[in-house]
Structure formats: C-alpha cells, structure tokens
Amino acid sequence: MHFKNNIAKTGKQFEVLTKEIFELLSRDERYTSVEHDVHLESPDGVRQIDVLIRSKVGSLDLTTIVECKDHNRTLSVEYVDAIHSKQHDVKANKAVLVARKGFSKNAKRKADRLGITLCIVRDAEKKLRDVGLQIPVLISEMHGVRVYPQYQVYLEAGTQLNANSALTVSDINIAQAFRNAIISGEIQFKNTDTAVRWVPSFITESAYIRDANGQQLPINDYSVMYEIEINYYFGYVNELPKTISLSNLSQNEEHIFFKAEDLFNYKDTLMKYSSEKDVPLINGIHIESVVLPDIEFRDVKLNFKRIE
C-alpha cells in the first residue's frame, strides 16, 4: 500500500488509496470484491464509480458505491446530494462519501438523514495529535550475543570430534534451543552484566554428542554460559512514514493503518536507546516486538578424560 507518501498527489491516487483501505476493512467472507474505477448502467447512461464493494449476505448480492473527493476544502451538502442520486441511479444498497478535508455541518446532517456514510482519509500524524492519541511502538533488538557451551566428555584414544560437536546435543541443535528458550521465557530477554549459566531442560544423564564418525559419546555437566546486549528502538505509530487514518464519521470510528515495512526498517524509523531505563514510559495499548539474531556460538570449553 502507498499510504502517506503518495496521498493526495492526484485524485486517482486518492481513489486507489481509498480502495486499498477498504480492501483491508473488507477482509471478510461476506465481501466478494473491492474494485476501482467501475462503470455501471443507469437510466441516464453509464455512471462511473470510484470504488465499488460487492458483498453477499445470505442469498442477497449487495453493492456499496464509494465516491472519493480529494479537495482542499470541506465538502458541501451538494456532494451528498450527488452521491445519493448516483446511488439511486445504479441501484446500490449503500453509499460512502470519502473526503480529505471533511464535511460541512449541512452535509453531515443530510448524510445522516439519507443513511450515507461519511469518511475522512488523511495522514494519521495530525489526526492522532489532534485527539491526543499516541500508540507507542517498542522493538527490542538482541545483539552482541556471546554464547559459550561447556561440557565434560570421556574419549578413547584416537577419537576425533567435529568442530561443531558441542552445538548438537542428543541430536538437538543448541542454537535453535537457545532461541526457543528466549521465546518461551526460559531465558530472560534482558541485558546481562555478567555471564549467565543456562542448562538446557532436555539435557539428561543420558545426554551425548557424536564424534566425527557419527558415534554417540556420553557427556556430563553440559551447560551454556551466555551474555546478552539489547538495543531498544522506540517511537509512535503516527510517526511512521506511511501511516494513514480513516475516520468514519457516521459510525464514530477511527481506523489506523501502517505499513509492516516501516517496522522491518525500524532502525531508520524509530529512535535507538541502549538502555531500557532511557526508553519513554509506555502506558496503555502499545505494539511491542522482539528481534532475535542468529545465535552465534563462540568458544567451546571442553573438559575431557581419555579412556585407556
């Protein structure tokens, strides 16, 4: 979706933006299609429809026409009259009038009387600031992870080990197990000032690694020492580059949309904090995400005894 960067450059772009927003709002099996720039027959000839929404309720096929007006002023009652006439001509079940600057009092009054829905599409930054609403976004990024496996193993003379033998225990990948332990909460997602010891829950008395030939080698006292550094990226939804809002005046609803790519590019769109205590206090509803890197194991501490 194009959202903020392309809003209101031309009337057609405003129509496309509105169409994309209604596609998001209409992700329901009752809605069969959302189309842009459709032509329908009427008693006075073909009528152009900016956005046409088709839906099905039981055995009934319903249509909603959406007219988009990208004007730099509020729309007067004449625009409500025009869409009501078009709705009647094409026999649509519902009509929606979308503006960028809003509507006059008379337009709102008549739309309410005729059952026409009025909506405003605009950049969300100003809208949310006007109503005093901010939705915080916090992304915690783990980086600088240092992981050191250690264990004891008894080896016969001539036994060869692979370099990554310590990374697979009882045929379980320790790096993936470490990530899963963070996700499950077994390992706390926080900065560590000193190395912390973790014993994987699946390690039992019968734990083993495999030698270079694939043979099992029993091990003892397997654990992982780890250190974690976390960066925090914080901001607000309305500050993301491509956030947009749809105000449904008729139903007193506010819909906020933002692009997922803005969160994927969080290093460019959010403010970086190296300490959690410096992150602004978050109250109420907020969006929080955790970014885990690929776990890279560092040195392996191996205590071994030869079996003569």
Q: What is the pLDDT of residues 171-195, one digit of tens each?
A: 998 888 888 888 888 888 888 878 8
63 and 150 belong to one structural domain = no
211 domain-assigned: yes
Residue with tokens 């209604």: 22
If asked whether residues 86 and 174 sit together in one domain, one would say: no
Instruction: From 89, 114, 130, give the residue that closes a domain.
Output: 130
Q: Same domain for 121 and 149?
A: no
Q: Which of 66, 43, 44 is nearest to 55 (CA)?
A: 66
Domain-terminating residue out of 99, 130, 161: 130
Shared-domain flag, residues 176 and 90? no
Say whether both 182 and 219 belong to one domain: yes
pLDDT at 7: 44
Residue that the structure tokens 């790096």 belong to: 175
Confidence of residue 227 (pLDDT cuts 50, 70, 90): confident
Q: How far apart are CA 232 and CA 100, in angstroms?
A: 35
Q: How many domains does the chain have?
A: 2
Confidence (pTM): 0.58
| Residue 163 belongs to domain spanning | 138-232+292-307
Query: pLDDT tens-digit profile of 45-95?
Result: 999 999 999 988 778 888 999 999 999 899 999 999 999 999 999 999 999
Are 87 and 95 in contact, with CB atoms under 8 Å apart? Answer: yes
Separation CA 98–CA 264 (nearest Å): 30
Q: How many CA atoms lie within 13 A of 307 on its CB side?
A: 8
Q: Mean pLDDT throughout 162-166?
A: 77
Same domain, 110 and 163: no
Please tell me whether residues 148 and 82 are part of one structural domain: no
Residue 13 counted as domain residue:
yes
Answer yes or no: do 93 and 10 share one domain.
yes
Give per-residue pLDDT as tens, 248-279. Answer: 888 888 777 777 777 778 888 889 988 888 88
Which of 71, 101, 130 lies at the terminal end of a domain, its last residue? 130
